[in-house]
Amino acid sequence: MKLLLPIFAMVCTVLATLTALVFCMAGGANSTPAQIRALKLWMLGLTLLGVAGITVGIFLLRAGQPGWAAGVSFAPVVIMSLILMIALLK
């Protein structure tokens, strides 16, 4: 039962990462080459953030710390949400 929260956090991170990538791809429809390069860098950074959160979460689960694993696995969702809110304000 204590593994349910970290696994749920990892699933949320995967879904948030995929959502962020789709938003970046949709934003590049009528962009200049420089803007597309910037979007590719954003997509790379967001992907690495999601993968890092899940990887460290799995490592912490294996170490027997499900609370920390849930927090670390859910952190990319919070960061991506903040990025989305800031992007929508501009």
**Is residue 42 over pLDDT 80?**
yes
- Residue 2's pLDDT is what? 83
Domain that holds residue 23: 4-89
pLDDT of 90: 79
CB-based contact 76:53 (threshold 8 Å):
yes
Residue 49, pLDDT above cutoff 90: yes
pLDDT of residue 38: 95
pTM to 2 decimals?
0.90
Query: For the chain, how many structural domains are there in total?
Result: 1
**Could you tell me which of 46, 42, 39 has the C-alpha nearest to residue 18?**
46
Cβ of 77: how many Cβ atoms within 10 Å? 21
